[in-house]
Amino acid sequence: MDALDLTLRMVAGLGLGAAIGFERQLRSRTAGLRTNALVSLGAALFVIMGAFSFTGERADPTRVAAQIVSGIGFLGAGVIMKQGASISGLNTAATLWASAAVGALAGGGMLLPALGGTLAVVLSNLLLRPLGRLLDRRGGPAARETVATEYHFVVRSSTLAEVAVRSAVVEAVQRPEFTVHSVEARDIQEGQTELTVVLSAAERSDAALEKAIATVVPIPEVTAVRWHALELGGDD
């Protein structure tokens, strides 16, 4: 293998990994442009080393590919997170795994299969995401087990009215769009209690949450209300 061939394989691994990471970067995912590019480049370099640095009867390039798979498993585990009742990062981890496979193909000189694999990964992330959402909306409860959005709804009120406020908040979020996972109260200062409700929805339901908040805000004992959303599950 000459220097030009070596360089071409490395550049292909880097470029194809960057192409996969570009789509992830646009969606602000944990592993974006640089991560996928480096994973693909690293896999290509390991394959090149295994195939051309060792010779003789004991040389076995397939071992390098097996070790790449094991190494990516540890890297993928680092981007999978459990938040509340939901698990996020599974698709990101799978994309990293696919980037390593593309890099391994490039490092082995199989540039056309590597290009085809890159297109397949990018199209899967672009096209299967809306298809999955459509199936979740049309399916039954079992099909909606993957949580798309987790909401944290926080209400501050006087401690003396905690029970009444808690009851009002729980009643307000009992809507078809939401599943309530936890309700937690804590004293933040003398005479003040903060109530945090964690709930989920199969898709973004900000308007429905605002309607629920509108029923809580008029309560005299409520002094502050805030909320934020986390994109989880099938959108990672």
* 142 lies in some domain: no
Tell me if 155 sits within 8 A of 148, measured CB to CB.
no
Q: What's the structural domain count of the chain?
A: 2
Determine the residue type at 193.
Answer: T
Position 144 pLDDT exceeds 50: no
Mean pLDDT of the chain, nearest integer: 83
**CATH number of the domain within which 204 lies:** 3.30.70.260
31 shares its domain with 85: yes
**Mean pLDDT across 155-183:** 88
170 shares its domain with 124: no
| Domain final position from 107, 137, 167 | 137
| Domain final position from 137, 172, 195 | 137
Domain around 217: 149-231
Percent of the chain with pLDDT over 70: 84
Confidence of residue 89 (pLDDT cuts 50, 70, 90): confident
* 236 lies in some domain: no
* 127 lies in some domain: yes
Tell me which of 112 and 73 has the higher pLDDT.
112
Confidence of residue 113 (pLDDT cuts 50, 70, 90): very high
35: nearest Cα among 12, 7, 8, 14: 14
133 shares its domain with 153: no
